[in-house]
Amino acid sequence: MTADFGIHEHGTIAPHSHDQRNASRKSLWLVLVLIVSFIAAEAIGGIFANSLALLADAGHMVTDAFAIALALAAIWLASRPASAPRTFGFRRAEVLAAFLNGLSLWLITAWIFIEAFRRFQNPPEVQAPLMLGIGFGGLVINSVAVLILMRSSRENVNTEGAFLHVLSDLLGSIVVVAGGIVIIALGWQIVDPILSVIIGILILASSTRLLWKVMHVLLEGTPAHLNLDLLCRRLEQVDGVTGVHDLHVWSVTSGYEVLTAHITSGFQTAEERDHLLQHLHEIASQDFGVSHVTIQLEASEEDCVEDHHVSHPNVLHS
């Protein structure tokens, strides 16, 4: 008999959206092709134009390519089957990929700040027309890439990591174009490192938000979109339920939440308890979108041998 490591005795798994993962994969591949096709042009243009803003944007596009490749690898790993050593499979790989993408954005920002400081002391002459032309090309490429990834990024923290790379690059392209216009119109060479610092700040802000979300998942915090108090009340309102305790909800990865709970009930017959258990599962999985539900029914809280009761607002104890 083959063991099924994806379903536990008291748990049910709502079907995970393979369509969403496939859509994310296609979007990421398309954006990867767009970005790689433009990296060389922007890097060479940055060297000839002597523009730090342009080089910073080109360097960011290189990390965009790595970030997207990492996200694609994580999607492939997450699709691998569960096993005895890894009962949830490699689903957490998507979260780890998002974490690495966030850290890489911080490293990029550090390099931009260091190089900008050097150029503040001795501003080089920038070839503004070349800077403006290539910056406009990057603006077009990154705008298309952002539109492609925008929808998928709302559903998956891994894709969001790649999306933030591309979004930061779009902001960088806007700054590059603005810088080229200012230098051509006013001759202010110092604007190049100033705009580079602005790019760095924008990258830092977006990556910090991503890393905060990733850390919340890794620390097994309650999913932000799930109203825990409402879930508790809904479970308590079911006929036959006398109390809820040891309730825990966390995310293995984006879109795959897990719930465990101990629930006390006055029902005695096996048929009554089975019907109650099915109803409780349906509330958690269908009404609150929890993918994996494990509920243990008990006669009273005093009979619970676990010593880690967690108090939640509005949860009644027997």
Mean pLDDT of 76-87: 73
How remote is the C-alpha of 229 from its chain's centroid? 24
* pLDDT (tens digit per residue) in 84-111: 777 677 777 878 888 887 888 888 888 8
- Is the confidence at residue 313, as pLDDT, over 70? no
pLDDT at 278: 92
Percent of the chain with pLDDT over 90: 7
**Res. 159: pLDDT tops 80:** no
Classified by CATH at the fold level, domain 228-303 comes out as Alpha-Beta Plaits (3.30.70)
* pLDDT for residue 216 is more than 80: yes
How much is the pLDDT for 197?
85
Domains 15-218 and 228-303 share a fold: no
pLDDT at residue number 259 = 93
Banded model confidence at residue 7, pLDDT cuts 50, 70, 90: very low
Class in CATH terms, 15-218? mainly alpha
**Is pLDDT above 90 for 314?**
no
pLDDT digits (tens, 9 = 90+) for 267-301: 778 888 889 999 999 999 888 989 889 998 887 76
Q: What is the mean pLDDT of the chain?
A: 77
Confidence (pLDDT) at 280: 93
Indicate yes or no: pTM above 0.75. no
Write out pLDDT tens, residues 112-144: 888 788 878 877 777 778 778 877 888 888 888
Q: What per-residue confidence (pLDDT) applies to 18?
A: 55
- Domain spans of the chain? 15-218, 228-303
Least confident of 77-81, 202-206, 208-212: 77-81
Give per-residue pLDDT as tens, 32-47: 888 887 877 777 777 7
229-270 tens-digit pLDDT: 899 889 988 988 888 888 899 988 777 889 999 998 887 788
